[in-house]
Amino acid sequence: MDIDLIQISKNNNGSAAVAFMSYTNLSSILHPSLFNQTNDTVKTMMSAVISVTLPRTANQTLTTPVNFTMKHIAEIDPKGTLSCVYWKNTEWVEDGCSLLQTNNSHSVCSCVHLSTFALIMQTEALAGEDSDPVIDVLDTVAVAVGLVFLSLTLLTFALCHRNPRVTNTARINLCISLLLAHLLFLLTQKFLHNIRSQQLLCAVLAGMLHFFFLSAFVWMFIDAALLFISMKNLTKIRSNEKAGLLWKLLVVIGYAVPLFVVGVSAGVVPGGYGSERCWLKTGFLWSFLGPVAFILTANTILFICILIIIISTLTNMKSKSLKIKRPESEHRFIVSVALKTMIQFIILGCSWILGFFTQDSKALEIIFLFLNSQQGTFIFLVYCVLNQEVSHHRFYLSAMAN
């Protein structure tokens, strides 16, 4: 704070004092939405709330404006507008305050009077160019439907535990990670308006989302690797002592790897969590996109290898069926395997690759949202609903390890 206390003291018989206070929790009460300059924007508190008074000073007239340098508590949007405001009765107003200068971390405000001050940023409303109401509704509905089927899948696995296997364990943990990630994401976006102003809570939620989504991707990779092993060897991974040890090892890998990534990321860039969407800040996205890109590449390669094995095996089966004259039943089996193989592409998370290309295409964005919010639906369809339809085919049982 830069205040001309000497001049003020001259107006008060040579004596003057100033009290400066900073409130860390008051911004959640005096919400930035109470700044009503523009109605079609999102308002974000960009600083702590500060208060300045002249105690026991009769003449509080300021001969020169008071300047405040405030540290930003949120990430600046290049398209946003910063406003220096003070609290007047029941709202934030700008009267007598102006923004002198700003950079990525601090802003300087100037006011001609003393009061309770804050820095507020206005950005385009979410229903503007960066968001589509139809896509927002579709996203919410699709995620909710996916959550229902993830819950049904977990319930089915819990009730039908007569022959558990390592692959089922991987899918159970995949469903758990997806369920927690999508549920937390849905709740965070639903109450984003209230959460955004609480920086610590916003950062914690971003860290939890980072962990759960990374965990889901690690389990997708584990599922893809187990499926490839089953396809290549045409053998089941049975629930024996060796499988029990493998199960414990997979659980450690499935949760320790994302925890390690989140821990290192938070240690290297402590302020990387808590963007306007309560997600990772722009320069910190590498801590999520890097591991995800690696896993998607690996899963795509594994899926191509699995597809080659399936095509080769089905070709052999078709030639044998022609010799014994049973083409109809084998044709139905081939169609069933082909359908499940395409669905497996989504279950293994390969469809997340579309996320790198949705920026300029609404159609791709809708397809991306639908496919990846419905992973739980496809898992339920393949491993719960359609599981018994092909149980008499040794090839498919070996391929899917059911």
pLDDT digits (tens, 9 = 90+) for 301-339: 988 888 888 788 777 766 655 454 455 555 565 666 667
pLDDT in tens, the chain (402 residues): 888 878 888 877 778 788 888 887 666 567 776 776 555 577 888 888 888 888 877 777 787 888 989 999 888 888 788 989 998 887 888 888 999 999 989 999 999 888 889 998 887 654 434 456 777 788 889 899 999 999 998 988 888 754 455 567 888 999 999 999 999 999 998 888 778 767 788 889 999 999 999 999 999 999 888 888 877 775 444 445 455 567 788 889 999 999 999 999 999 887 888 887 888 987 788 899 999 999 999 999 988 888 888 788 777 766 655 454 455 555 565 666 667 777 888 888 888 888 777 776 778 888 888 888 888 888 888 888 776 533 433 334 344 444
Number of other CB atoms surrounding residue 47 within 10 Å: 24
In this prediction, residue 242 carries a pLDDT of 57
In this prediction, residue 335 carries a pLDDT of 65
Number of other CB atoms surrounding residue 288 within 10 Å: 19
Percent share of the chain, pLDDT over 70: 79
CATH number of 5-124: 2.60.220.50
In this prediction, residue 77 carries a pLDDT of 82
The letter for the amino acid at 351 is S
How is the chain split into domains, by residue range?
A: 5-124, 133-400
Whether 5-124 shares its CATH topology with 133-400 is answered: no
CATH number of 133-400: 1.20.1070.10
